[in-house]
């Protein structure tokens, strides 16, 4: 069955936003907001739009 895993609470959104700044394969690398956005854009417009909203909200 299909489940919706999008973050709903403010806490979930903060965690998801922060998670985008850290590489899963290169643990010593931290991305800039622009690099994180570019990474998210590879997976489609929906995620990129959500990330842009978080950038405005949390920066």
Are the C-beta atoms of residues 40 and 49 closer than 8 Å to each other?
A: no
pLDDT at 2: 81
Q: Model-level pTM? A: 0.83
Has residue 1 got a pLDDT over 70? no
The span from the CA of 32 to the CA of 2, in Å, is 32
CA distances for 23 relative to 11, 56, 59, angstroms: 21, 22, 20
Rounded to 5, what percent of the chain is helix, strand, coil? 55, 5, 40
Q: Which of 32, 49, 28, 27 is nearest to 40 (CA)?
A: 49
- pLDDT tens for 6-49 read 999 999 999 999 999 998 898 899 999 999 999 999 999 999 99
């Amino acid at each position: 069955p299909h489940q919706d895993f999008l973050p709903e609470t403010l806490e979930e959104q903060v965690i998801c936003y922060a998670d985008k700044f850290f590489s899963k394969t290169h643990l010593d690398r931290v991305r800039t907001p622009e690099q994180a956005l570019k990474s998210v854009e590879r997976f489609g417009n929906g995620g990129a739009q959500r990330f842009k909203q978080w950038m405005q909200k949390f920066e």
